[in-house]
Structures are given as C-alpha cells and as structure tokens.
Amino acid sequence: MSDAPQVLFKSDAVLVRLMTLQANEIGQKHYHSHLFETIICVKGEITLFVAGAERPTVLFPGQQASVASPHHHWVQNNGATPAQYVLAQNGGNYDFVPVT
C-alpha cells in the first residue's frame, strides 16, 4: 500500500481504515491470529484472494467480502488506476503475520 491508510474509526475492539492500492499493486500475503476482516470496495476493482478458496473474489464499488482468522489472504488491484477500499477489522488484538 503506497499511500498511508486513513483511520476512519478506532477503538479497543475495532479498527476501520481507508486503504489505497496503486495500479497493478498486490498487497502482502498475510493472516491475523484473531481478527475478522471486512473489505468494502469504494473505488476501482479489488480482487481478494483467500488461501483454500476455489477462486478469488472480485469486488466493485459498494460490494464487500469478509475473511475470518486465521485464513491467509491478500488483495490486488488489476486496474490501471488507483483503487480504494474500506478495511474493517474486529474480534481481537491487531496483528499482521506475513506469509512468505
């Protein structure tokens, strides 16, 4: 994510941020130990990959998808312009565990 995420809401149990993926950018493959994530596409096209899923989920503005812990996942922008999404995380302490 080349632009710094904008925090929209934060509490002890919830973190909501506006994220930007640049053209053709791929987010890092990762998982969370306890978090439940919801991704809501705001602009462009976001592709969500979840390990073990039959196929990726393609999101357009207004569409959403969720990922439960501890599934490995990542997002990608296949478009030629920046894409944005709201990332809502809840259910436990925040952690980001990279997968190599």
Q: pLDDT tens string for the chain (100 positions)?
A: 557 899 999 998 899 999 999 999 999 999 999 899 999 999 999 999 999 999 999 999 999 999 999 999 999 999 999 999 999 999 877 888 899 8
- 82: tokens are 């920046």
CA distance 9 to 1: 19
What torsion, rounded to 10 degrees, do the Cα atoms 26, 92, 97, 71 define? Answer: -70
- Predicted TM-score (pTM) of the model is 0.90
Give domain status of residue 48, yes or no. yes
Give domain status of residue 46, yes or no. yes
Question: In the chain, how many domains are there?
Answer: 1
Write down the pLDDT at residue 6.
Answer: 95
CATH number at residue 32: 2.60.120.10
